[in-house]
Structure 1
Amino acid sequence: MLHSIYIKNYVLIEQLEIDFNQRMTVFTGETGAGKSITIGALSLVLGARGDTAVIGSFGEACEVVATFDISNHPAAQKWLLNNDLSDDNTLIIRRTLNQQGRSKLWINGSPTPAHLVKELGRYLVQIHGQHDQIKLLQSATQRQLLDRSGDYGNLLNEVAEVTQQLKQIDNDILALKQAGSLSTEQQQLLDYQYQELQELDLQVGEYEQLHHDLMRVSHAQEIQQTCQQTIEDLDESDQSVRHLLAHHINQLKHLKGFDGAQACQMLDEALINVQEAIQYLTDYASDIEHDPQQQQNIEERLAQISHIARKQNTQAEQLIDHQKQLAEQLNQHQHQSEQQQKLDNQRQKLRHHYYQLSQQLTETRRQAAQQLAKNISTMIQQLGLPDAQLSIAVNPADFNDNTKPVAVGLDQIEFMIAVNKGQSPQPLSKTASGGELSRICLAIEVVGQNHDHSAFVFDEVDTGIGGATAAKVGAIMRKLSEQHQVFAVTHLPQVAGQAHDHILVSKSSDETHGLTRSAVQHLNREQRIQELARMSGGETITKTTLAQAEEFLKTG
């Protein structure tokens, strides 16, 4: 429950602190006195958007501090614990706002972002004003009320989870396409090029070897002649290199007094190398022959390689690497195609599962809608519309290949009302008058209440009604306060008389400083009678209005 609120320099409030009753509290006062200012300050401290226009004339910044007792509020306790903001059973939320638009928020002394404060606020207080009646005419709000009344939270979570999975798969498919998946034409071209290279069957180093072989076969005669001449010079004449080396080695070894063993060793090694070179050149020359057919074969193979290299727009020396790249691209495409098919299959199965869940959700909603409509109709009838019947239409959208899954299902929810007998149900916005709409919305809010909220605020939701209906509205609010803390800003004495605590809001002008201030006052019994009399009879208070005021108070 809201234990107290401290407000400083907010609109017409210079500074005040209010302690609240744990059941039903009403705010009354003359028009323009600022009855809704306190509600506005409460909205601000619970994370509503901060507008510098609310900063009063009594300083450079405004401040609001709300203190809650959450000892009987497990949902709020759990939220605080999950966000490391728990402080036993006491919750203090503080907010400041300066002229530069800078806003700061604290929960139990810890700086906290506004979106988290707003999230916590939904567990603490539910504020209903005349603008909320407009929200109640919206399909999304009506769906939320219906879903809140039903016991199918797990089904809603499952629909939302499948929707998220479908969204992720769609993102994966898009990413796969953006990664460079081949078109059919591109794949056909790469397949053709790769097949052409496989038929070419070019081996690693073959192109370089063919060039070498071509040079050797085309110069075979020259090579043979040069090799033979070299062999002759090295071995076959009396003055050959081999004979001269052997002769001089022999002379040095038998030379008396010559200490040249190292030189002899070097010449021995040279002789061995010459002999090996002679053998190599002999073998090499014997293997070489001028073969025109071999030369033609080599030239044709080189021409074939060069032709395919030109066709595939690469260098002949790079064909092997080019073939590897083609293989990698084709393998990657194959993998992407398989992945695409896998994702498409998953998507199709998930969409089918989503449709099945949505159908189940539609049927479950229709069952919940019947019970909720019945309860709201009963409440509306108690509020002076005895023939009114509310119904809730649950209409699923068509589901086809182009339908985008929605986390809340496919249903369009619409609250319909027939105020009088013989009328066919029509949307709320098209049938109800202002006073009727106030009562209908109040009934919807009370019956469709979220039991996680510890406090309800009704800001002039009783506009447009009076008399016995007003008394019934007050009685319903009082009944609601048996389970929840209730605040009501009202101009109806029938409602105000039902409250457990009555706060009078007034304003005064300071002619010296040119300032206007709002003030609040908890009323005792006699003061309440005077205020109720004023509300029912205007400025002139008579014995009749006082007696009527006492009756309002006795009823409460």
Structure 2
Amino acid sequence: MLKHLHIQNYALIDSIDLSLSDGLSVITGETGAGKSILLGAISLLMGARSDGKSLFNPAKKCIIEGTFSVAPYPHMQQIFEEEGIDFEEPCLIRREINPQGKSRTFVNDSPVNIDSLKKIGQELVDIHSQQDTWWLANADFTLELVDSFAQNQEVKTAYQSAFRAYSQAIKNLHSLQKKAAEGTQGLDFLQFQFQELVDAKLEINEYESLRSHVEKGQNAELIHERLAQLANLMSSTDMSTVEQMRAALQQANALSKYGEDYASWKNRLESIWLETKDLANEIEREAENFQSDPNELAQSQQRLDLLNRLLQKYQVREISDLIALRDSIDAQISGHANVDEALALAEKEVASRLKIAENQAAKLQTSRQVVYDIITQKLAESLHALGIPNATLAWEIREQELQLSGIDKVQLLFSANKGLAPKPFRQIASGGEMSRLMLSIKHLLAEKRAMPTLILDEIDTGVSGEIAIKIGQMLTQMSRSHQIIAITHLPQIAAAGAHHWFVYKDHAGEKTVSSLRELSGEDRVDEIAKMIGGSKGYLELKENVRKLIHANHD
């Protein structure tokens, strides 16, 4: 339910605040006063396209903000979760449009895109105008009408779950068929790659070891020379490092008896001397034994070249990646080997899922067949009451291949005149007839489900007198369980409203603005009387208006 609407800097509106209640609210005003502007602002809040041309002051941004009660619609919580938005009561939707035409949208202070706004908006507000009747010929809407009246949600959910499982089974089968269609050429290539990687006898730590070995072999002469020099410095001369450390240790030993610090030096030098002597022995052994085998170096170089070629060919950086690729190719080859068996299983799965889906589709179809005649009967009765006494309706029902909506392809046909067979709406219905048919359908749906706020824009076009009173009564009945906002030119419908808002142009300032005020008491009586008799002849009509208002609210 729309509880509050704030519009700022939009079209002829400088700033308007509209607090709404449940029940039936009517909006009246002279042509051009701004009723359609009000509707346009709400449409923007629901995700309509925006631009900077509609700003009242082109230098400032436009703000449209709506506060909605979402407590009556717990099913919406899933939509909010899917969009990553907190589900809060009330729900605040805010849309801002800057002078360049760019817009930002927030739902409960979370930024959202237009698709998310539309998804949420269509659950909160249902806007219909006399011209907006395309949905009457929309197959999805027609089935929604049937399913809502049949109260078959459990059956429909079971079918759609079965249909999705069937669709997924078909996708799996097509994927396997595609793999099989690649043929032996693809398999041969995989086998070649696998064998190449197997023959390489890959080991994870081999690469670094090979690279180090090759680098030593390529610099053998220099390494041997440096080893000899290092060994000489460490231990092969009278002034070698080992001899110097031994001499230092002797001096420290002589000093150690004169103090604890000196004794500590002696211990530390002794440790260093032992380590230095051990290191010198290792260096000397390496200098004596170091040699490079040209044949072994060539083999290591060839092995390293092979690994580098494989790394470059398969566009990976580590030997572990090559090993993982080898194992992956092995799994793919196994998959090819079992593809015939997998195809047979997939075909059985498709057949099984199809049978389940067809059984569920038949149940859904049966649930719909029960209500077709009841719906046309109730719509005909409603249309008779609304001044189309010869209205007849019929169904055009055909079976189609399995779809998410079922196997039923349904169209509602209509005739307003005796002797004429019902046909699709667009071929025969006038604007007034379409409006009344739309109202009858909404009235029917209101009996069966929780509907969003319903905004009706001049659906009373083409009617008057007693029929207008009937429409007012129907709206009043619907508003007992749903919030209805009706934009109207008819006094009979204006009198039916529990709340009455008046839109007018204010010329007091430098720029004409559209303003809005709520009418009650004698102000409301005056406005409805003026709708009947004009500004000059309304006074003598006021008593009749009081009776009309009273009759609607007994």
TM range (shorter): 0.5 to 0.7
- The residue correspondences of 1:415-454 to structure 2 (distance < 5 A) are 415-449=412-446, 451-454=449-452
- The residue correspondences of 1:136-155 to structure 2 (distance < 5 A) are 136-155=136-155
* Cα 1:329/1:520, change in 2 over 3 Å: closer
Question: Structure 2 CA distance, aligned partners of 1:101 and 1:69?
Answer: 29
Q: 1:39 is matched with which residue?
A: 39
Q: 1:226 is matched with which residue?
A: none
Q: 1:207 is matched with which residue?
A: none
Deviation, structure 1 residue 491: 0.8
- TM-score normalized by structure 1? 0.67
Q: 2:157 is matched with which residue?
A: 157
Q: 2:516 is matched with which residue?
A: 520
Q: 2:380 is matched with which residue?
A: 377
Deviation, structure 1 residue 186: 7.5
Q: Deviation per CA, 1:469-517, whole angstroms, max 9, x where unpaired?
A: 01110111111111111100011111001011111111234784xx331
Deviation, structure 1 residue 394: 2.8
* Cα 1:423/1:100, change in 2 over 3 Å: same
CA contact (8 A) 1:9 1:59 kept: no
Question: Given the alignment, which residue of 487, 490, 496 partners 1:489?
Answer: 487
Q: 1:175 is matched with which residue?
A: 175
CA contact (8 A) 1:126 1:455 kept: yes
3-state secondary structure, aligned to 2:133: helix
Computing the radius of gyration from Cα coordinates, the structure with the larger value is: 1
Q: 2:49 is matched with which residue?
A: 49
2:468 is aligned with 1:470: yes
3-state secondary structure, aligned to 1:464: coil
Give the letter for the 1:363 counterpart: T
CA contact (8 A) 1:366 1:394 kept: no
* Cα 1:176/1:534, change in 2 over 3 Å: same
Deviation, structure 1 residue 549: 3.1
CA contact (8 A) 2:51 2:100 kept: no
Question: Given the alignment, which residue of 359, 363, 370 partners 1:356?
Answer: 359
Question: Given the alignment, which residue of 372, 389, 394 partners 1:391?
Answer: 394
- The residue correspondences of 1:259-270 to structure 2 (distance < 5 A) are none
Q: Deviation per CA, 1:251-286, whole angstroms, max 9, x where unpaired?
A: xxxxxxxxxxxxxxxxxxxxxxxxxxxxxxxxxxxx
Q: Deviation per CA, 1:43-67, whole angstroms, max 9, x where unpaired?
A: 2223333343433236432101111
CA contact (8 A) 2:127 2:454 kept: yes
Deviation, structure 1 residue 96: 0.8
Deviation, structure 1 residue 72: 4.5
* Cα 1:476/1:502, change in 2 over 3 Å: same
Q: Deviation per CA, 1:334-355, whole angstroms, max 9, x where unpaired?
A: 4112212222222223233333
Structure 1 residue ranges without an equivalent (≥5)? 191-203, 205-326, 400-404
CA contact (8 A) 1:365 1:394 kept: no
Deviation, structure 1 residue 73: 4.4
Question: Structure 1 CA distance, aligned partners of 2:473 and 2:351?
Answer: 54
- The residue correspondences of 1:39-118 to structure 2 (distance < 5 A) are 39-57=39-57, 59-76=59-76, 83=84, 85-87=86-88, 89-118=89-118
* Cα 1:81/1:175, change in 2 over 3 Å: closer
Identity of aligned residues (%): 28
Give the CA RMSD over aligned residues: 3.1
Question: Given the alignment, which residue of 530, 539, 543 partners 2:526?
Answer: 530
Q: 1:265 is matched with which residue?
A: none
Question: Structure 2 CA distance, aligned partners of 1:92 and 1:537?
Answer: 41
Give the letter for the 2:21 counterpart: N
3-state secondary structure, aligned to 1:417: strand
3-state secondary structure, aligned to 1:373: helix
Question: Structure 1 CA distance, aligned partners of 2:520 and 2:332?
Answer: 87
- TM-score normalized by structure 2? 0.67
Question: Structure 2 CA distance, aligned partners of 1:29 and 1:346?
Answer: 63
Deviation, structure 1 residue 466: 0.9
Question: Given the alignment, which residue of 358, 366, 369 partners 1:366?
Answer: 369
Question: Structure 1 CA distance, aligned partners of 2:440 and 2:491?
Answer: 20
CA contact (8 A) 2:7 2:15 kept: yes
Q: Deviation per CA, 1:291-337, whole angstroms, max 9, x where unpaired?
A: xxxxxxxxxxxxxxxxxxxxxxxxxxxxxxxxxxxx99996544112
Q: 1:406 is matched with which residue?
A: 403
Give the letter for the 1:41 counterpart: A
- Structure 1 runs, 4 residues or longer, greater than 6 Å off: 327-331
Structure 2 residue ranges without an equivalent (≥5)? 189-198, 200-329
Deviation, structure 1 residue 123: 3.2
Question: Structure 2 CA distance, aligned partners of 1:329 and 1:530?
Answer: 83
Give the letter for the 1:456 counterpart: L
Question: Structure 1 CA distance, aligned partners of 2:548 and 2:25?
Answer: 15
* Cα 1:328/1:413, change in 2 over 3 Å: closer
Question: Structure 1 CA distance, aligned partners of 2:69 and 2:91?
Answer: 6
Deviation, structure 1 residue 468: 0.6
2:340 is aligned with 1:337: yes
Question: Structure 1 CA distance, aligned partners of 2:331 and 2:127?
Answer: 63
Q: 2:505 is matched with which residue?
A: 507
